[in-house]
Amino acid sequence: MKLLDLEIFVVGTPPPGWGGNYWIFVKLTTDNGITGYGEVYAASVGPKAMRAVIEDVFERHMQGENPENIELMFRRAYSSGFTQRPDLTVMGAFSGLEIACWDILGKARDRPVYALLGGRMNDAIRAYTYLYPLPHHKKADYWTSPEMNAESALAAVEQGFTAIKLDPAGPYTMRGGHQPAMWDIDLSVRMLKAIREAVGNRADILFGTHGQFTPSGAIRLGQAIEPYLPLWYEEPIPPDNLLDFAQVAQAVRIPIATGERLTTKAEFATLLRTGGAAILQPALGRSGGILETKKIAAIAEAFGAQIAPHLYAGPVEWAANIQLAANIPNLLMVESIQTGGEFHLPLIRNSIRVEDGFIRAPEAPGLGISFDEDLARAHPYEGHALHLQMQEAPCNYVSGNAFEGGAPRD
């Protein structure tokens, strides 16, 4: 069995755009007709350029190879061009292609991917979701309204979620870390107070920041929200400051979580060696794929750290996250977009979904999904934005900031 053909789908997300402006899916076909799907989570170049990178990585390192030889193909891509170091764009391309290889291998053996990784450890996988506006909420007001967020939190808990996430301390800017405005600190405290009062002890609160602060700024904000006992403090500083995460972890009594913008075990191991994070959040469409992320999880296990795979992408990466989550012993939970996502679920013909806050380990072969190619082709991305856009303007210290949940569109 050899890898023969590649097809790439760049799918635009319909409003409100939860999960990013577009998703990049890959389809690999073997010489004996087995197909596998993967997803590339890379945002540093546009989809036209990323398509060329994916094609080059496949043709240079994978085409004609047995899809079983994942370790060999990884080392080819990781070391290509005399680099032999984490490269976000190349590893993003490889990650999606690697996921598709596992889908093929599972289908060839009529087994779920997790069965090929060592078997099923977790029957029921705990899921969490961001807080999104409810249908009756006015979106322009939602992002700075503790009352509306508390209402969304209670609705999520009523759906069965035992963990919910928010990130009210915006913005994320191209300028790197900054000191939070007092307005933003005050809003964060009021948000957490309202949510904690609404849900009580029925759910963990996960506090996100998207790497917005300097270490000292992250410490100021983190200490302010400690009384509401968040389960984690997510990416409090930019991801290029790996050694500085330990400074925040030592000063704030909330577990530090990070990893959506990191790739390969090399970067995650640096965090663990320095005590910079207790919870790792690899995005499998960027972190190196399923096998590399299993290695990351194994290293984390030795350091007493847990894994919470990240998702702000499409349903194929979600499916890969779930396969890994079913296998590893140090799983904390997986991210979901609501109970599966209004556009995510149709793309995989509702083959995975969140029920009562948990996802059952899939039984179907490969990734356990049925990908709808016709629906993907019917929604081509025709814009010019990146998957997520960074703000150029600095933090507003006069009238406050409002982070609008990723990529909402009306």
- Tens of pLDDT, residue by residue over 67-108, are 999 999 999 999 999 999 999 999 999 999 999 999 999 999
Q: Does 2 have pLDDT greater than 90? A: yes
| Average of per-residue pLDDT across 15-27 | 94
- pLDDT at position 406 is 59
Q: Are 343 and 17 in contact (CB under 8 A)?
A: no
**pTM over the 0.85 mark:** yes
- pLDDT at position 43 is 77
- pLDDT at position 247 is 98
Q: Are 22 and 39 in contact (CB under 8 A)?
A: no
At residue 172 the predicted structure's pLDDT band, cuts being 50, 70 and 90, is confident
The pairing of beta strand 256-258 with beta strand 334-336: unpaired
- pLDDT tens-digit map of 192-206: 999 999 999 999 999
- pLDDT at position 407 is 54
Superfamily per CATH, domain 3-110: Enolase-like, N-terminal domain (3.30.390.10)
- pLDDT tens-digit map of 143-153: 999 999 999 99
List, in sequence order, the alpha helices (H) in 83-233: 88-109, 113-116, 139-142, 146-158, 182-199, 215-225
Residue 126: strand pairing partners: 358
- pLDDT tens-digit map of 258-273: 999 999 999 999 999 9
- pLDDT tens-digit map of 319-330: 999 999 999 999
Q: Which CATH architecture has domain 115-367?
A: Alpha-Beta Barrel (3.20)
Q: Do the domains 3-110 and 115-367 sit in the same CATH topology, yes or no? A: no
Q: Are 150 and 197 in contact (CB under 8 A)?
A: yes
List, in sequence order, the alpha helices (H) in 160-289: 182-199, 215-225, 245-251, 264-273
Enumerate the domain spans of the chain.
Answer: 3-110, 115-367
| Average of per-residue pLDDT across 52-69 | 98
- pLDDT at position 218 is 98
Which helix (H) or strand (E) segment holds residue 358: the answer is strand 358-360
- pLDDT tens-digit map of 295-319: 999 999 999 999 999 999 999 999 9
Furthest-apart CA pair in the chain: how many Å? 63
- The proportion of the chain whose per-residue pLDDT surpasses 90, expressed as a percent, equals 90
Q: Does 410 have pLDDT greater than 60? A: no
The one-letter amino acid code at 15 reads P
Could you give the 3-state DSSP secondary structure of residue 30?
A: strand
